[in-house]
Amino acid sequence: MFGPNPKRRAGTAVALALGIALLATGCGNDSSDSGGGGGDGGDANLAITFLPKNLGNPYFDTSNAGGAEAIEEFGGSYEEVGPTEASPTSQVSFIQTAAQQGVGALVVSANDPEAICDALDEARSADVKVVTFDSDTNPECRDLFINQASAEGIAKVQVDLIAEQIGGSGQIAILSASANATNQNAWIEMMEAELEASHPDIELVEVVYGDDDDQTSFDKTAALLQTYPELKGIVSPTTVGIAAAARYLSTSEHKGTVALTGLGTPNQMREYVKDGTVTAFALWNPADLGYLAAFAAQALVTGEITGEEGDTFEAGRLGSYEVGADAAVLLGDPFVFNAENIDDFDF
């Protein structure tokens, strides 16, 4: 109560001050024993925390399960933490927590290349190794980046798939995300170059943008097929676009005659692969990505590598990897999903 009695106010103010003082001094006094907390106590601190963009995301459930598998193989301890929504600054408190716990390494998919940089720097100064995967930060904020696929590889696999599916000639269109999506535009540029170089008989008639919105992408697909009656194939380098296009095609007369490929996830595309709308599409294997990231973290923690270009390390069943420029490690070529293998995946 805000009553008129100053003594009472003073009393509660003192209580509050005591509370804050307790918080402050309590924390200050025990600084000595907090150094190696949370570690295993062994030679190398193999406590590894995975921090996805957000929790409850099937993609990260798959990748982090790969990480957990690897950590079990080399005998570390696995933990997954993360925010419920993928906002740039929401990851900061989890990075801080990992630093406080003194984990050996943090494997993070960044919601923003810059927003978590300072927090990562602070964690690294507390001896936490930082590996980014899936989505990188600025190179100077982490020890290693596990790159799922190179832009060249992504562009090439999509061109190869569509060329194969339409028999090497005819009109194709691209259904992208938004017109200013940096990665999509880079891929499209490389795809155009690759088409020109290797498939002169394929004509790219138009690039349309579905804004990564399901309905917009659906409508743009319909419009493409009306505008270009001769269209033989669509490439959609975005998981939202390819699923919407597949949904349109599967109920249209063009089902099975107009080819569709691009980047998609197995769960979204399963029914369209099974009903014959889509033959094959690409993405990387997120379980392998998490698996590789965990082994990379281990190699950093044990001092096997430092992140120098040319460093090599073993990653269990995936074999040997070499650190490339900008302390990045490339998982490999994109993975092609088709009717034979799609049931092996759940994300």
Contacts with other proteins by CB under 8 A: the residue count is 54
Contacts of residue 33, defined as CB under 8 A and 6 or more positions apart, other chains included, come to none
Burial class (CB in 10 A: 0-12, 13-18, 19+), 40: middle
What is the distance of C-alpha 329 from the center of its chain? Answer: 14
- Residue 18 binds other proteins, judged by CB under 8 A: yes
Query: Contact between 282 and other proteins (CB under 8 A)?
Result: no
- The answer to the question of residue 309 lying near other proteins (CB under 8 A) is no
Residue 120-139 contact track with other proteins, rule CB under 8 A, x = bound: ------x-------------
Nearer residue to other proteins within complex by CB, 122 or 219 = 122
Kindly state the DSSP code that residue 112 receives in the 8-state scheme: S
The Cα 327–Cα 133 span in angstroms is: 12
Taking the least distance from each CB to other proteins, the nearer of 128 and 173 is 128
- Inter-residue contact 203 to 167 (CB < 8 Å): no
What is the contact mask toward other proteins in residues 59 to 88, using x (rule: CB under 8 A)?
--------------------x-xxxx--xx
- Considering the rule CB under 8 A, would residue 205 count as an interface residue with other proteins? no
Compare residues 24 and 223 and give the one whose CB is closer to other proteins.
Answer: 24
Q: Least distance (Å) from other proteins to the CB of residue 115?
A: 4
Among 115, 186, 207, 342, binds other proteins (CB under 8 A): 115
The residue type of 47 is: A
Regarding 183 and contact with other proteins (CB under 8 A), the answer is: no
Q: Are strands 320-322 and 312-314 parallel, antiparallel or unpaired?
A: antiparallel
Check residue 160 for interaction with other proteins (CB under 8 A): no
- Residue appearing with tokens 């980047």: 263
Angle at the Cα of 312 (from 123 to 44), degrees rounded to 5? 45
113 or 324: CB nearest other proteins: 113
Round to whole Å and give the CA distance between 95 and 111: 13
7 binds other proteins (CB under 8 A): yes
Q: What whole-number distance in Å separates Cα of residue 298 and Cα of residue 304?
A: 8
**Long-range CB contacts (within 8 A, 24+) of 3-8:** none
Question: Interface with other proteins includes 38 (CB under 8 A)?
Answer: yes
Considering the rule CB under 8 A, would residue 43 count as an interface residue with other proteins?
no
312-314/202-209 β-pairing: unpaired
The residue ranges that bind other proteins (CB under 8 A) are 1-5, 7-9, 11-13, 15-16, 18-20, 22-24, 26-31, 33-34, 37-38, 55-56, 79, 81-84, 87-89, 92-94, 96-97, 99-102, 112, 114-115, 117-118, 126
